[in-house]
Chains A and B, each alone.
Chain A
Amino acid sequence: MEKVIELKDIWVRYGNQIILEAINLELKEPHGLLGIIGPNGGGKTTFLKLLLGLLKPYRGSVRLFGRPPEKSRELVGYVPQYRGFDFDFPISVWEVVLTGRISHTGFLRKYREEDRKAAEEALKTVEMFQYRDRQIGQLSGGQRQRVLIARALATNPKLLLLDEPNSGLDPHMQDELYRLLDRLKHEMAIIMVTHDLSAVSVYVDKIACLNRTLHYHNSREIPIEDLEATYQCPVELIAHGIPHRVLSSHEGNR
């Protein structure tokens, strides 16, 4: 079986500044939710762009399903950061989700029946089908986020990448989002990056920390040393108030 992701010794720089350094990651299981946490400016978005083939490392190799990212695009669904969108854009929910089918349809062709089926199914999965004729600006934040997820799902991805999907959502909407991801993770591999440590909740199967380098131990617990190395300051907030213990037990800490 092909590995979902295989990153070998990846280095990325922008100008003279090194953004990502010596990154190795192997993801074998075709389902489950990997949370990647790290501070702002730690290279999380760069990391996703690497997986999407939007930028190339100057050293190392990226393989998705055994192929370079540009060749595996039909297997990858992408949910970009929700900020920075022009929600005043004259486009309906239905039209947004259909753009997720654009590579399947092909150039110079109209959307086909199967494209409409896939878009309908994706919208029903996120429970937004009844809003299909709305202009996207007339939705709440959580609903817009769902539409962007539906657009990614319309491509029928085997790997779903989400960039800070929880930002700008209130706690109730965040909870709904995580429950949706929890359902989806049985059908595909999901990677979610976030700077919000509290987002790393019950629903995440594995966690990695990213701040130039990636700390990943193929588990859902992070040693506190890794976390402190990532955030470069003592971190003690996570053990409280979250239904699941993310940190492994640490001597002298309790």
Chain B
Amino acid sequence: MFDLLQYNFIQNALVAAVLASIACGIIGVYVVVKKIVFISGGIAHASFGGIGLGYYLGVNPMLGVLPFSLISALVMGTVSKKSKIPEDSAIGILWSLGMALGIIFVYLTPGYAPDLMTYLFGNILTVPRFDLYFMLVLDIVIIGAVYLFYKEFLALCFDEEFTTVQGLPTEKLYLFLLCIIALTIVVLIKVVGIILVIALLTIPASLSRKFTYNLKQMMLISIAFGTVISVTGIGLSYALDVPSGATIILVLSFVYGLVAFGMEMLENRRSSGDLKES
């Protein structure tokens, strides 16, 4: 197994797994505690338009998806808050609009769209070196933003109305948080693909929530979970020769199910023990 580490593509995959786990570990916590899983999924899917645009313009699709996901985040955040349409309907519309644009762009691109499947479903074993640097820069931006805005994001997520009353520009802050989520999605695309991104944003954070009531600790624990589980997933997918993105998600779901079930059993045993004592 250790000879595997000599391969360049395996090294790249491991670096990508760590970079992705850092981004999703930190930002996933906000997605989970602020309960914005659905809008985050919407931003991720709508970003497919950016991948199509990248192909159409003949540039690296990762460069197309960056501006497109940021615009999706801003439009979705604004429309869902300001318009009269219910928030979930607005998200549903923009979600499919972005994907439809992507399909049209890919169709209009002359010739064959190489690697299209890797953007949809991820393939961490084929991450090129350039994409790693790109992910690293985005990780630094994400960490910096969370470091600077930690107390504002905490206040916003806990009680948006009170934070507004305190005089903070909560609408802008919320849009900023969505933009950081969009950057995180871009980091995660190569690992699990647009369709499965939402799993990395929710499962590690939901897992860590079971172990602590402190937001910073939650972030660290979910980074740890994300790293260990995605590396395990890479190993399994290599050994069994199955797609890496889907394997990582399966391992994540399995661990989540195991932990949730185990904790429930413990709780039940403890409460029945309490009954016996009394």
Spell out A's residues near B (CB within 8 Å): 52-54, 70, 73-74, 76, 78, 80, 85-86, 89-92, 95-96, 98-100, 102-103, 105, 107-108, 110-111, 135, 137, 151, 155
Bound together, the chains give a CA A207 to CA B162 distance in angstroms of 26
Q: Given A102-B166, A103-B167, A103-B168, are A96 and B158 neighbors across the interface (CB < 8 Å)?
A: yes
Please report whether the interface of chain B is mostly helix, strand, loop or mixed according to DSSP. helix
Q: For residues 139 through 185 of chain B, which have their beta carbon under 8 Å from a beta carbon of chain A?
A: 148-149, 151-152, 154-155, 157-159, 161-168
Q: Is B213 a contact partner of A78 (Cβ separation < 8 A)? A: no
Q: In the complex, how many residues of chain B place their beta carbon closer than 8 angstroms to a beta carbon of chain A?
A: 25
Q: Is B155 a contact partner of A99 (Cβ separation < 8 A)? A: yes
B278, CB-defined interface residue at 8 Å: no
Nearest-neighbour CB distance to chain B for A198, whole angstroms, equals 28
Residues in chain B near residue A74, CB distance under 8 A: 167
Query: With contacts defined as CB atoms under 8 Å apart, how many contacts are there between chain A and chain B in the complex?
Result: 67
Nearest-neighbour CB distance to chain B for A175, whole angstroms, equals 26
Nearest-neighbour CB distance to chain B for A87, whole angstroms, equals 10
Q: Given A96-B158, A99-B154, A102-B155, are A89 and B165 neighbors across the interface (CB < 8 Å)?
A: no
Q: Is A102 a contact partner of B214 (Cβ separation < 8 A)? A: no
Residues in chain A near residue B167, CB distance under 8 A: 70, 73-74, 103
Bound together, the chains give a CA A52 to CA B149 distance in angstroms of 24
Nearest-neighbour CB distance to chain A for B27, whole angstroms, equals 15
Question: Closest 5 interchain pairs by CB?
Answer: A135-B213, A99-B155, A103-B166, A73-B167, A103-B167
Q: Is B149 a contact partner of A99 (Cβ separation < 8 A)? A: no
User: B213 touches which one: A92, A105, A108 (CB < 8 A)?
Assistant: A92
Q: For residues 183 through 229 of chain B, which have their beta carbon under 8 Å from a beta carbon of chain A?
A: 209, 212-215, 218
Residues in chain A near residue B10, CB distance under 8 A: none
B33, CB-defined interface residue at 8 Å: yes
Q: Given A90-B209, A108-B148, are A100 and B166 neighbors across the interface (CB < 8 Å)?
A: yes
Bound together, the chains give a CA A53 to CA B165 distance in angstroms of 8
Q: Given A90-B209, A99-B154, are A108 and B164 neighbors across the interface (CB < 8 Å)?
A: no
Q: Is A108 a contact partner of B166 (Cβ separation < 8 A)? A: no
Nearest-neighbour CB distance to chain B for A125, whole angstroms, equals 18
Q: Is B164 a contact partner of A95 (Cβ separation < 8 A)? A: no
User: A99 touches which one: B33, B148, B158, B218 (CB < 8 A)?
Assistant: B158
Nearest-neighbour CB distance to chain A for B125, whole angstroms, equals 35
In the complex, which residue of chain B has the Cβ closest to the Cβ of A74? B167
In the complex, which residue of chain B has the Cβ closest to the Cβ of A98? B151
Residues in chain B near residue A92, CB distance under 8 A: 213-214
Residues in chain B near residue A89, CB distance under 8 A: 33, 157-158
